[in-house]
């Protein structure tokens, strides 16, 4: 059971949190026993059940701890199933949260929620989904961050992140399934359409790409694939994940041209890339780093093509955002030790 | 009137004080841990030679991690803790 603390007032308790490294810089709601008990009513899981070990300190994360942090973040009890699912995904070994907790980079696990429960509790996948302004998105994402702080010990003082990133406050969206012409990410990843699924992918901040001048796929992919192949992203130099979120209007233009989601996925993989001669002008290019690629790269052949997406399973394609919006969000990845994780969660 | 709330932190991790530093390396076993980042091995190899040649180090033991973004394997940490008087970690780049 957690230790009980006391203050003279709620406001003083909030200030007490500021005197510790326990908040993300914004006020937290003090986790009182009644509020934590109410939060626990949002899940059927036993409060003492351990979900996993949180790096870098590898401390055990119980459902009780999750509820305390959900209170602190301002979440509602009905968000608990999503938060528990998110932590299951984040703590899966192959996502390598340990590496991101301690990296110089500013990546964070992007949470993409699919299935009917996201709609029930109001996780926004439409207009303004990356925020600010949506309680479910913000507080689910914030709960995850506060747990990474307080349970994992991944405070800024322990992290090596050079700049940090705004996405480290909260990074949670739903897929805009209602406005998508295609099947959702969860189905692409082998789940049923009515399953409640959460996918975590280690990502950089969204780069927004705009194109309101084209509807022919031959031209429509260009700004997106150029951004995907940017030398500012890690994907130009190694095999790692990437999320591309097409706004509904952009997805519709591909669909109206007769393209399936799989065909758009293939098109983006085929067109995003750089040649060796271009890549070796600078950036992270180094001969001894060629083993970070999966495809053969001949450093002596300037015409050799380096695909930005080194393996098809590393590109996560979703539809998100609102109408109107001729926009695509490209979220570059982190490094070769991570793999996106999808978890079916119980409501 | 007091306002009660729960401490959300977990503190089962034990802080271990830093090991006592030897005054010199004479007759000591020095471990060199390479975190796999490029050129860490080159730096450590040169360092190991220098320590043997000019600092009286008895033996140098070199080990390599799995990947610089992953924790050092527990077996390696325990082996180095058991066999070495001093361990130097290097990361390349």
Give the tens place of pLDDT for each residue, A216-226. Answer: 999 999 999 99
Q: Note the pLDDT of residue A3.
A: 87
Terminal Cα distance for chain B, rounded: 57
Tell me how close the Cα of A2 comes to any Cα of chain B, in angstroms: 6
Give the orientation angle of helix A63-73 with respect to helix A135-150, to 10 degrees: 130
Enumerate the residues of chain A whose CB falls inside 8 A of the CB of residue B2: 6-8
Per-residue pLDDT for B10 more than 90? no
Q: Using alpha carbons only, give the angle A152, A166, A90 rounded to the nearest 5 degrees.
A: 35
Q: What is the pLDDT of residue B18?
A: 85
ipTM, two decimals: 0.84
Q: In what order do the strands lie in the sheet with A172-174?
A: A172-174, A108-114, A197-203, A341-344
- Best B2, B3, B4, B8 residue to mutate vs chain A (most A CBs within 10 Å): B8
Q: What is the pLDDT of residue B12?
A: 67
> What local confidence, expressed as pLDDT, does residue B48 receive?
95
For residue B15, pLDDT beyond 90: no
pLDDT of residue B13: 67
Closest C-alpha to A242, from A207, A210, A212: A207
A31 touches chain B (CB under 8 A): yes
Q: pLDDT of A156-167, one tens digit each?
A: 888 889 999 999
C-alpha distance from B74 to closest chain A C-alpha (Å):
13
User: A319: which strand partners?
Assistant: A246
- Write down the pLDDT at residue A156: 85
Helix (H) or strand (E) holding A73: helix A63-73
Q: Is the pLDDT at B14 greater than 80, yes or no?
A: no
pLDDT band at A1 (very low <50, low <70, confident <90, very high): low
Give mean pLDDT, residues A176-205: 98
Q: Which of A269, A265, A264, A336 is nearest to A306 (CA)?
A: A269
Name the band, by pLDDT with cuts 50, 70 and 90, for residue B74. Answer: very high
Contact at CB, B10 and A337, closer than 8 angstroms: no
List of chain B residues whose C-beta atoms are within 8 Å of the C-beta of residue A3: 6-7
Tens digit of pLDDT for each residue in A64-119?
999 999 999 999 999 999 999 999 999 999 999 999 999 999 999 999 999 999 99
Residues A23/A17, Cβ–Cβ less than 8 Å: yes
Task: Give pLDDT tens digits for A29-39.
Answer: 999 999 999 99
Instruction: Determine the pLDDT at residue A158.
Output: 81
**What's the mean per-residue pLDDT of chain A?**
96
Of the candidates A168, A162, A239, A241, the one whose C-alpha atom is nearest the C-alpha of residue A205 is A168
User: Is A40 touching B (CB cutoff 8 A)?
Assistant: no
């Amino acid at each position: 059971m957690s230790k009980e603390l006391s203050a003279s007032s709620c406001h003083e308790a909030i200030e007490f949190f500021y005197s510790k490294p326990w908040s993300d810089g914004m006020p937290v709601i003090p986790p009182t026993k009644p509020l934590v008990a109410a939060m626990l009513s949002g899940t059927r899981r036993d409060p003492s059940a351990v979900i996993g070990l949180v790096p870098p300190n590898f401390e055990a994360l119980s459902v009780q701890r999750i509820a305390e942090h959900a209170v602190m973040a301002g979440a509602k009890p009905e968000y608990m199933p999503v938060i528990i699912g998110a932590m299951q995904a984040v703590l899966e070994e192959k996502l390598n949260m340990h590496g991101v907790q301690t990296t110089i980079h500013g990546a964070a696990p992007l949470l993409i929620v699919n299935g009917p429960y996201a709609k029930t509790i109001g996780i926004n996948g439409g207009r303004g989904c990356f925020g600010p302004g949506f309680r479910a998105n913000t507080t689910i994402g914030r709960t995850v961050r506060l747990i990474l702080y307080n349970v994992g010990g991944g405070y800024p003082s322990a992290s090596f992140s050079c700049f940090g990133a705004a996405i480290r406050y909260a990074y949670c969206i739903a897929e805009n399934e209602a406005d998508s012409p295609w099947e959702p990410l969860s189905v692409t990843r082998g789940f049923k359409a009515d399953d409640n699924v959460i996918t975590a992918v280690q990502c950089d901040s969204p780069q927004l790409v705009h194109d309101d001048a084209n509807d022919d796929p031959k031209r429509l992919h260009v700004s997106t694939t150029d951004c995907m192949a940017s030398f500012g992203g890690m994907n130009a130099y190694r095999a790692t994940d990437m999320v591309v979120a097409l706004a509904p209007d952009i997805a519709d233009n591909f669909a109206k041209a007769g393209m399936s989601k799989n065909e758009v996925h293939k098109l983006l993989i085929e067109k995003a890339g750089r040649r060796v001669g271009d890549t070796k002008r600078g950036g992270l290019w180094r001969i001894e780093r060629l083993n970070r690629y999966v495809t053969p790269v001949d450093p002596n052949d300037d015409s050799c093509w380096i695909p930005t997406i080194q393996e098809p399973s590393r590109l996560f394609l979703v539809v998100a955002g609102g109408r109107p919006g001729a926009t695509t969000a490209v979220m570059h990845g982190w490094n070769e030790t991570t793999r996106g994780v999808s978890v079916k969660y119980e409501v | 009137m007091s306002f009660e709330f729960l401490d959300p932190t977990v503190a089962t991790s034990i802080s271990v004080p830093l090991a006592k530093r030897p005054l010199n390396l004479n007759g000591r076993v020095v471990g060199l841990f390479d975190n796999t980042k490029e050129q860490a091995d080159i730096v450590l190899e040169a360092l190991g030679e220098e320590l043997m040649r000019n600092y009286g180090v008895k033996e140098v033991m070199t080990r390599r991690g799995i990947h610089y973004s992953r924790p050092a394997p527990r077996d390696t940490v325990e082996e180095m803790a058991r066999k070495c008087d001093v361990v130097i970690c290097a990361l390349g780049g």
